Structure 1
Amino acid sequence: MLINDREILKKQLGGIQKVGDFATWEPFVRSAEQTYIIPAIGWELYNELKSLQAPNTIQETLLDQLRMAIAWFAYLEAFPHLTISIGDAGISVQTPANSQAMGKWQFVAITKEAAAKADRYLEASLSYLEKFESSFPAWKNSSAYTLSRGCLISSATEATRYFPAMQRSRRLFLNLRDYYQLAEDEFVRPILGPLYGELLAKIKAGNPILDQEAEVLQMARKAVVQYGFSQAVPYLNMNVDFRLVSETDGILNEDALSVSRLNAISQKALAEATEKAAELRNYLNANASSTVLSAYYHSGLYVEPVGAYIKRPRNNPKNPYFAL
């Protein structure tokens, strides 16, 4: 594990006055790495980082950021369990001398704060990893890299750039990622044609992106984020048992957004996606040529833009009508 002793864990959880035996925390640390870290960075990079004996500066910085994320994800998973005592006599709430059980409001606030910190640190780690990806060949050759770089929206940070309501939430991004892929396949790829594969190949290879290609990517990503969200939002509060649930102050309720509110959100996102798709198509038709965005130009999808100038008809004063 990337956190394998009490001192490393305690160093990351600076606000914790006391961290006990590491054996108590080890299952939660292991669960945090398996659930959140390895799917994000891939087994290849994870095993490389775990086996480092003398990491260089770049590797050490990444390790430190990942450990912050792991520690707070572990804290998030451990928190509900460390407030209770389980033994042969059953399950009880721990109330040591001169202390009292935690209030519900405090429990909810601490849980949400821990989740926000964990998300923030993991996103920072992934941003750092993308910036110095040439220093991590194991990452570039991993299935996780292919999964993230093989699509137009690769992270919560990138999704937030085009859809601020995402708020860099890694967990929300993972819930939406399959919908983004669906949006690419069904909504954007038919517009871009062969240019879609060409741009993705450039992104994965790290090749230079031309100005016109960067503009196309920006428009395409806006359309993907909006369309993906419009398809996902009706199901975001549906669990695996097909029950609509919501959480209020730490209590799960079997209710949902009102139909009118849900439809308004979905329709707004779909309308914005359609608008962005139209902008993308217009930009492609206005800028593609045999040398610029040539894959689109020769794809059969290209439509030559209609000239803006329209000649007005001449009016004959002998006619009892006139043409505008």
Structure 2
Amino acid sequence: MNLVNNRLELQEYVNVTWNFDFDKALPFIKRAERKYIIPNIGKEEYTTILNHDGSDTDIVDVKYLLAEASANLAFHLGFAQLCVHITNYGTKQTELEDTKSIDWATKRDLQRGFTETGFEAIDEALKAMEYYVDKFADWRDSTAYSVFNEHFNKRTDEFQQHFNISSSRKTFIALKPIVRKIEEQYFLPMLGEEAMNLIKTRTMDPVLSRALDLCQKAEVALTIAKSVDSGAFVMTGSSAMYIWEQLPWEKTSEYSDERLHKLKDSQQKDGEEYLKKLNALLLKHPDVFPIPQRESKPANKNIIKLKSGLGL
């Protein structure tokens, strides 16, 4: 059982003819769900949604979005193969006398449409799941959800407040490995694990709230600075978008090398400025933050650059 199981269901999301052979698309539907959907929601939640009885409209809406993603991304993955037959006598492409093959530009736009529609549907599904997280308990308790919940910026909208990623959850998820490196490189040496966890508890204490705000801003700026060199993101204006599947005609960046360098430098400087403000806050409130190593060096009030990152 999959999110899309027959031609009639497929026709809700993709414009195929009445006599389309669903079995040709089925391998790509399975692959799309295995590659794009299960890693984002977890195997247990995927199974739960498949077996949902339709009694909760919010879960039904999420299932519809995931099915839309499955159908479109299946055609994205199988675009070059769906018109091909592999037989005992070789590989053939279907051609009919009364039809005409589409040109390369139309193929490009069609495949881009499958890709964008599929990923937009995943974005919308994850957005709804974030909002109704208690209705998706298997996802909430899975490792798939932990990518949202382990850093200073736990949600897509929090990251979006400080840098434009077009509210894209796929971009947010793609940035997570970089965020993890940033926390290890900059925040752990400065704060220590205990203070980091304290700030992440999100208490109403004004000092801790201010510390969280500075950590979030610094984390975003330093993450964007580091992501510039990854080659996995399209940088346009002040936005970053992750490319899940690189198409032959797409560019990884619409910025010139000079503008990318300026973007990286500006974000790096912004991040370091926020860290300086965080450092001042820590020094002002030593009773709030459990940082034992600070007690042995009370006179050192400046951030210094180390090979491993910034230190105190």
TM-score (normalised: structure 1): 0.72
Q: What is the aligned partner in structure 2 of residue 188 from structure 1? A: 187
Please state if 1:138 is matched with 2:133.
no
Q: What is the aligned partner in structure 2 of residue 275 from structure 1? A: 273
CA distance in 2 between counterparts of 1:135 and 1:230 reads 36
Offset of 1:257 from its aligned partner? 8.0
Structure 2 residue matching 1:234: 3-state secondary structure: coil
Does the Cα contact within 8 Å between 1:199 and 1:213 map onto a contact in 2?
Answer: yes
Q: What is the aligned partner in structure 2 of residue 178 from structure 1? A: 177
2:215 pairs with one of 212, 220, 224: 220
Does the Cα contact within 8 Å between 1:28 and 1:75 map onto a contact in 2?
Answer: yes
Alignment of 1:121-136 (within 5 A): 121-136=121-136
Offset of 1:103 from its aligned partner? 1.6
% of aligned pairs identical? 20
Structure 1 residue matching 2:86: 3-state secondary structure: strand
Does the Cα contact within 8 Å between 2:215 and 2:275 map onto a contact in 1?
Answer: yes
Does the Cα contact within 8 Å between 2:199 and 2:211 map onto a contact in 1?
Answer: no
Q: What is the aligned partner in structure 2 of residue 100 from structure 1? A: 100
Give 5+ residue unaligned stretches, structure 1. 239-246, 307-324
Offset of 1:268 from its aligned partner? 2.9
TM-score (normalised: structure 2): 0.75
Q: What is the aligned partner in structure 1 of residue 79 from structure 2? A: 79
Does the Cα contact within 8 Å between 1:5 and 1:22 map onto a contact in 2?
Answer: yes
Kindly tell me: are residues 191 and 87 of structure 1, through their superposed partners in 2, closer, same or farther at Cα, counting changes over 3 Å? same
Which amino acid in structure 1 is aligned with residue 4 of structure 2? I
Deviations 1:8-36 (Å, cap 9, x if unpaired)?
A: 222123x5555723211111111111111
Q: Which moved more, 1:166-175 or 1:223-232?
A: 166-175
Kindly tell me: are residues 278 and 54 of structure 1, through their superposed partners in 2, closer, same or farther at Cα, counting changes over 3 Å? same
RMSD value, Cα? 3.7
Alignment of 1:307-322 (within 5 A): none
Alignment of 1:297-316 (within 5 A): 300=294
Does the Cα contact within 8 Å between 2:126 and 2:169 map onto a contact in 1?
Answer: no
Deviations 1:288-311 (Å, cap 9, x if unpaired)?
A: 475xxx23588848989x9xxxxx
CA distance in 1 between counterparts of 2:121 and 2:206 reads 32
Structure 2 residue matching 1:52: 3-state secondary structure: coil
Does the Cα contact within 8 Å between 2:149 and 2:155 map onto a contact in 1?
Answer: no
Q: What is the aligned partner in structure 2 of residue 317 from structure 1? A: none
Does the Cα contact within 8 Å between 1:94 and 1:101 map onto a contact in 2?
Answer: no
- State which structure, 1 or 2, has the greater radius of gyration over its C-alpha atoms: 1
Offset of 1:212 from its aligned partner? 5.2
Structure 2 residue matching 1:4: 3-state secondary structure: coil
CA distance in 1 between counterparts of 2:49 and 2:252 reads 43
